[in-house]
């Protein structure tokens, strides 16, 4: 379906990267797609992740809605990663709140259109019809990072 899952990841990552994170106690996160690891030119840095805080946007599934329509139901996960060693509780709370406040407007009428990309976009056109929340409560601590995951369904299409 024209790489709609990858385009959805990029649209969400671009949206979050362009957002105002000034109220975040942990600072502005680096926004990555699931396929953006290894994009560094320096071979020594190719397997290195950016410093905390960071957001990793990934897709869990992409299902076509109809055989003749390019609209797909894409399940998106946004994982906020904060340093378990260097991020205090107040910074965690404010940063998670900023993330939630950025995602919630996507669920409003026409809110998902903030993710749209024009036909002349370098990655190609992308249209988001609407979004619906799935899970806003997942969190864990692993590999010296605290992770907070928000998942939602995005109904979208990527056309040629």
Q: What number of residues does the chain have?
A: 160
Task: For the chain, 160 residues long, give each residue's pLDDT as a single digit of tens.
Answer: 568 999 999 999 999 999 999 999 999 999 999 876 545 455 555 556 678 899 999 999 999 987 777 899 999 999 999 998 889 999 999 999 999 999 999 999 999 999 999 989 988 899 999 999 999 988 998 778 899 999 999 999 987 6
Structure tokens at 32: 């990555």
CA–CA separation, 46 vs 59, rounded Å? Answer: 22
What SS3 class is residue 25?
Answer: coil
* Structural contact between residues 81 and 147, judged by C-beta atoms closer than 8 angstroms: yes
């Amino acid at each position: 379906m024209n790489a709609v899952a990858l385009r959805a990841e990029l649209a969400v990552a671009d949206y979050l990267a362009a957002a105002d994170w000034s109220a975040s106690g942990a600072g502005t996160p680096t926004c990555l797609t699931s396929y953006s690891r290894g994009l560094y030119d320096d071979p020594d840095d190719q397997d290195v992740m950016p410093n905390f805080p960071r957001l990793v946007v990934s897709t869990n599934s992409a299902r076509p809605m109809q055989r003749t329509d390019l609209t797909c139901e894409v399940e998106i996960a946004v994982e906020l990663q904060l340093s378990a060693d260097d991020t205090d509780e107040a910074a965690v709370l404010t940063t998670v709140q900023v993330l939630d406040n950025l995602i919630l407007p996507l669920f409003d009428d026409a809110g998902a259109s903030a993710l749209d990309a024009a036909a002349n976009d370098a990655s190609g056109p992308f249209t988001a019809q609407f979004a619906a929340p799935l899970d806003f409560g997942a969190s864990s601590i692993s590999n010296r990072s605290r992770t907070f995951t928000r998942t939602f369904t995005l109904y979208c299409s990527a056309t040629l």
